[in-house]
């Protein structure tokens, strides 16, 4: 299964670079790079992921400039970008470490073979070759197990992040609803105050009109009495 997976990766290198750019940490968890081919593919994927992350960062900052909670949006975009950069750097460091280790092992093997030839000894036996193959198979098995464990942790982390974002969105919606309700109450209070003031003015005018009418009638009666 591991060998078929590695052959598939080698046959679809271009596709893998684009796929790895989306989430390089899932494809190359810690300890998953074991061969020179994997190291080369990981470095290519890291370059693609870095370019994609920088483009996504610029797009996110432009989008944040037009949203309601601009600072929160910008901080979240920067946290995501920094996390991506850390994963990219981790993959690059691990890939280069693997390359250096393999180079050192090959130099040591060539040196042992050269020394054996000079001493009149035989080249490495079939058993030694089998032992090295078995050691490499164990490394590949351990790398696959590490990848599987990392992917499980990553899925759990993504689920937690999705739940947190959902909660934040709900809180934002609740705050917006509260603000809208408060503004509506303010408008209702202002409209009520306006109605009460209009009623007060109308009542005062009616009282004044009645007073004037009483005075007019009183004067009319007094004038009639004088006649």
Is residue 176 a part of any domain in this protein?
Answer: no
Q: For residue 23, with 0-12 CB atoms within 10 Å meaning exposed, 13-18 middle and 19 or more buried, which class applies?
A: middle
Q: What is the model's pLDDT at position 226?
A: 77
Is residue 169 a part of any domain in this protein?
Answer: no
Q: What is the model's pLDDT at position 43?
A: 92
Give the separation between CA 58 and CA 53, rounded to whole angstroms. Answer: 9
Q: What is the model's pLDDT at position 11?
A: 34
Is residue 122 a part of any domain in this protein?
Answer: yes
Give the separation between CA 11 and CA 20, rounded to whole angstroms. Answer: 15
pLDDT digits (tens), the chain, 227 positions: 333 333 333 333 333 333 344 478 888 888 888 888 888 988 999 999 999 989 988 988 888 888 888 888 888 888 888 888 888 998 999 899 888 888 888 888 888 777 777 776 555 556 666 666 677 777 777 777 776 777 777 778 778 878 887 887 788 778 878 888 888 888 898 899 899 999 999 898 999 989 898 888 888 888 787 77
Is residue 226 a part of any domain in this protein?
Answer: no
CA proximity to 44, closest of 56, 54, 36: 36
Distances (CA, A) of 93 to 18, 107, 213: 20, 21, 100
Q: What is the model's pLDDT at position 201?
A: 92
Q: Domain count for the chain, please give it.
A: 1
Q: What is the model's pLDDT at position 135?
A: 72
Residues in the chain: 227
Is residue 192 a part of any domain in this protein?
Answer: no
Is residue 43 a part of any domain in this protein?
Answer: yes
Is residue 149 a part of any domain in this protein?
Answer: no
Residues near 98 by Cβ (< 8 Å), separated by ≥ 6? 33, 34, 35, 36, 38, 39
Domain that holds residue 40: 2-140
Is residue 133 a part of any domain in this protein?
Answer: yes
Give the separation between CA 24 and CA 150, rounded to whole angstroms. Answer: 12
pTM (2 d.p.): 0.46
């Amino acid at each position: 299964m591991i060998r078929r997976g590695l052959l598939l990766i080698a046959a679809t290198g271009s596709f893998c670079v684009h796929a790895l750019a989306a989430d390089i940490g899932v494809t190359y968890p810690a300890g998953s790079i074991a061969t020179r081919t994997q190291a080369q593919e990981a470095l290519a994927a890291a370059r693609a992921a870095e370019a994609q992350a920088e483009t996504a960062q610029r797009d996110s900052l432009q989008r944040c400039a037009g949203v309601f909670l601009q600072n929160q949006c910008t901080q979240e975009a920067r946290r995501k970008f920094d996390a991506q950069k850390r994963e990219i750097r981790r993959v690059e460091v691990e890939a280069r470490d693997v390359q250096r280790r393999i180079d050192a092992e090959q130099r040591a093997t060539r040196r042992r073979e050269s020394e054996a030839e000079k001493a009149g000894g035989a080249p490495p036996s079939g058993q030694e070759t089998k032992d090295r193959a078995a050691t490499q198979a164990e490394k590949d098995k351990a790398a696959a197990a590490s990848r599987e464990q990392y992917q499980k942790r990553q899925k759990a982390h993504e689920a937690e992040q999705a739940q947190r974002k959902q909660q934040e969105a709900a809180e934002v919606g609740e705050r917006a609803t509260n603000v809208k309700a408060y503004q509506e109450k303010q408008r209702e209070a202002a409209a009520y105050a306006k109605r009460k003031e209009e009623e007060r003015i109308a009542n005062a005018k009616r009282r004044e009109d009645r007073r004037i009418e009483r005075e007019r009638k009183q004067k009319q009666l007094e004038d009639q009495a004088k006649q």
